[in-house]
Amino acid sequence: MSDMDSLFLRIIAREVPADVVRENDRVIAIRDINPQAPTHVLVVPKKRYRNVGELAAADPELLAELITVAREIAEQEGIAESGYRLLFNTNADAGQTIFHVHLHLLGGEPLGGLTGGPLNG
């Protein structure tokens, strides 16, 4: 595991400071240090799984908990009604740079389509 891979474990251990939005015994949610939207929170399981596929296979209940926590944070942040995006990057071609699965919660402004054009659905 490289230093970059262990970043979330170091945040969980309080070795690296982070703006913690929510935490329980299985999940921590922190504000992204390079936000891509007015609300950009990372929801991270405390147990390390490389990506969302690995998490889904090993612990589908924990995957559901990440989504539930993200929904609760969207409500807390006041973006649930206007809309928000949940995003997992899976592996390098998708832009995953920290290989400890994490869910991006983005919102607070119109986000547009995923490829720059309108998105239907």
- DSSP string spanning 75-94? HHTT-TTT-EEEE---SGGG
- E strands, 5-120, in order: 20-23, 27-31, 39-45, 84-87, 103-107
pTM above 0.75, yes or no: yes
Computed over every residue of the chain, the mean pLDDT equals: 90
Check residue 6 and give its pLDDT.
77
Give all domains of the chain, ordered by start, each with its CATH number.
3-107 (3.30.428.10)
Give the distance, in angstroms, between the CA of residue 77 and the centroid of all CA atoms in the same chain. 15
Check residue 121 and give its pLDDT.
41
Q: How confident is the model at residue 26 (pLDDT cuts 50, 70, 90)?
A: very high
Check residue 116 and give its pLDDT.
52
Sign of the Cα torsion 20, 104, 64, 92 reads negative
Check residue 118 and give its pLDDT.
43
CA 59/CA 54 separation, integer angstroms: 8
CA 57/CA 71 separation, integer angstroms: 22
Find the catalytic residue in 40, 100, 102, 104.
102
40 included as an active-site residue: no
Contact 94, 57 (CB under 8 A): no
Percent of the residues in the chain that have a pLDDT greater than 70, as a whole number: 90
Residue 51 has pLDDT above 50, yes or no: yes
H or E stretch at 8: helix 7-12
Per residue in 63-117, pLDDT (tens digit) is 999 999 999 999 999 999 999 999 999 998 998 889 999 999 999 999 987 765 4
